[in-house]
Amino acid sequence: MTKKKIHSGKNVSKEDTSLFREMMQDVTPLPQDKIEPPQPKSQPKCDSALTPLEPRPLSRFIEMAYLAEISADETLFFSQSGLQQKRLDKLKHGQCSINGKIDLHGMSIAQAGERLHQFLKTAKTQQWRTILLIHGRGKGSFANKPVIKQHVNQWLRDTPEVLAFCSAIQRDGGTGALYVLLKRQRDAA
């Protein structure tokens, strides 16, 4: 290996250069001066065998950039096709037996998403049919916008296990809560 000349700039004294050489006398040069860039990690493969509510590394309920604009007092309703009108009427009037209750209001979007994800896993395990989901009306959030309500509205629409949901009657939270009807889980034969 050839020694490279050390450039002694205008501001470096002979004493500094001498001290530097003295301090570096026991240093062994690296065998090569090229650094190989790290290889990119392979992307994890998507496991299509997962059912929608099985554990995943991250909650599928994440913050979304574009959502339908919803007011704090707006009544929400969603239903998959094929449900009996009688069942929907019972849901709308709060006449269904509530199997579980979750309160998301006051949480961040990430916290609410993770909590809802875990709650729906429990609901599936327990074979709950109807739940009460309290999302709040957003009166304490920035510009009094119902942020959690908007996200919950979209998250539930995107969840195959949700057959229907609607705003609760006043005694159960009114437009700050939802009755959610879940698919019945068939026993494996």
Gap between the Cα atoms of 92 and 169, Å rounded: 8
* Portion of the chain with pLDDT greater than 70, in percent: 72
pLDDT tens across 87-116, in order?
Answer: 999 999 999 999 999 999 888 889 999 999
Backbone angles phi, psi at 31, to 5 degrees: -65, -25
pLDDT tens across 79-92, in order?
Answer: 999 999 999 999 99
State the pTM of this model. Answer: 0.65
Mean per-residue pLDDT, 12-33 = 83
Helix or strand holding residue 150 (H, E): helix 147-157
pLDDT tens across 34-51, in order?
Answer: 766 666 655 444 444 444
Domain 77-182 in this protein, CATH class? alpha beta
